[in-house]
Chains A and B, each alone.
Chain A
Amino acid sequence: MQRKTKGLQHLSNNPKIIPYVYLSPFLLLFLVFMVYPIIHSLYLSLFEFKGIKSSTFVGLNNYIQLLKDQRFKMALFNTVYFSVGMIFLTLFISFPLSLILSSNTFPGSKAFRLIYFLPILTSLIVAGAIFKLIFLDSGAGLLNSILAIVGIKPKKWLLDGFWAINSVLIMAFWRRMGLNIMYFVAGLQSLPTDVYESAMMDGATSWQKLRYITIPMMKPIISFVMIITLIYSFLAFDEIFVLNPAGSMDSPQNNMVTMGYHLYESGFQLFKFGYGSAIGFMITLIILLFSTFQLKLLGVFDTDK
Chain B
Amino acid sequence: MKYDKTYWMKTIVLFLLLLGLSIMVLFPFYWMFISSFKDIGRIFSTPIDFIPKPFTLDGYRKLLTGTLYGRWYLNSIIITVLYTIVAIFFSCLGGVAFGKYDFKYKQTLFIIVLSSMMIPLHGILIPLFLVLVKLKWIDSYLGVIIPFAASPFGIFFIRQYSSSIPDELLFAGRIDGCSEFTLFSKILIPLLKPAIGVLIIYFSMIVWNWFIWPLVVIRSTTKFPLNVGLSTFITQYEIRYDEVMAGAVLCTLPLIVLFVFMQKQFVTGLTAGAVKQ
Give chain A's interface residues, CB within 8 Å of chain B. 9, 12-16, 18-20, 22-23, 25-27, 29-30, 32-34, 36-38, 40-41, 44, 52, 97, 100-101, 106-108, 112, 114-134, 136, 138, 140-142, 145-146, 148, 174, 177-179, 182-183, 186, 224, 228, 231-232, 234-235, 237-238, 241-242, 244, 246-247, 259-260, 263-264, 267-268, 273, 276-277, 280-281, 283-284, 287-288, 291-292, 294-295, 298, 300-301, 303
Contacts and interface: CB of A to CB of B under 8 A. Distances in A.
Given A26-B90, A244-B235, A280 B211 contact: no
B234 A26 contact: no
Contacts of A145: 46-48
Q: Is the interface of B mostly helix, strand, loop or mixed?
A: helix
A280 B231 contact: no
B260 to A, nearest CB: 9
B90 to A, nearest CB: 5
A291 B118 contact: yes
Contacts of A100: 14, 18
B146 interface: yes
Interface in B217-276: 227, 230-231, 233-237, 239, 241, 244-245, 247-248, 251-252, 255-256, 259, 263, 266-267, 270-271, 274-275
Cβ-closest 3 pairs across A and B: A284-B123, A291-B118, A140-B44
A181 to B, nearest CB: 10
Contacts of B150: 25-26, 29-30
B245 A119 contact: no
Interface stretch (B57-65, B77-85, B126-134, B191-199): B126-134
A87 B68 CA distance: 39
B124 interface: yes
Contacts of B211: 123-125, 238, 241
Given A276-B125, A280-B124, 9 more contacts: A117-B267, A125-B227, A133-B31, A138-B44, A177-B25, A246-B236, A246-B237, A263-B125, A284-B119
A9 B118 CA distance: 37
A51 to B, nearest CB: 12
Contact of B147 (A33, A119, A126, A141): A33
Given A108-B15, A263-B125, A300 B114 contact: yes
Contact of A106 (B11, B111, B212, B270): B11
A25 B149 contact: yes
A52 B116 CA distance: 28
A123 B47 CA distance: 30
Q: Is the interface of A mostly helix, strand, loop or mixed?
A: helix
Nearest to A120: B270
Nearest to B29: A118
Interface of B: 11, 14-15, 18, 21-22, 25-26, 28-29, 31-32, 35, 43-48, 90, 93-94, 96-98, 101, 103, 106-107, 109, 111-114, 116-131, 133, 146-150, 152, 155, 174, 179-181, 184, 205, 208-209, 211-212, 216, 227, 230-231, 233-237, 239, 241, 244-245, 247-248, 251-252, 255-256, 259, 263, 266-267, 270-271, 274-275, 277
Contacts of A134: 28, 31
B124 A38 contact: yes
B235 A247 contact: yes
B245 A133 contact: yes
Nearest to B109: A23
Contacts of A264: 125, 212
A280 B111 CA distance: 23
A125 B263 CA distance: 23
A21 B226 CA distance: 36
9 contacts: A26-B155, A30-B150, A36-B127, A119-B29, A136-B44, A140-B45, A241-B211, A241-B231, A246-B237
A127 B233 CA distance: 14
B94 A22 contact: yes
A246 B90 contact: no
B94 A26 contact: yes
A183 B274 contact: yes
Given A268-B216, A284-B119, A23 B267 contact: no
Nearest to B181: A12
A29 B149 CA distance: 8
Interface hub of A122, A287, A301 (most chain B Cβ within 10 A): A122
Given A129-B244, A129-B248, A246-B237, A121 B255 contact: yes
Contacts of B11: 106-107
A267 B126 contact: yes
A27 B230 CA distance: 35
A39 to B, nearest CB: 8
Given A182-B267, A300-B114, A44 B127 contact: yes
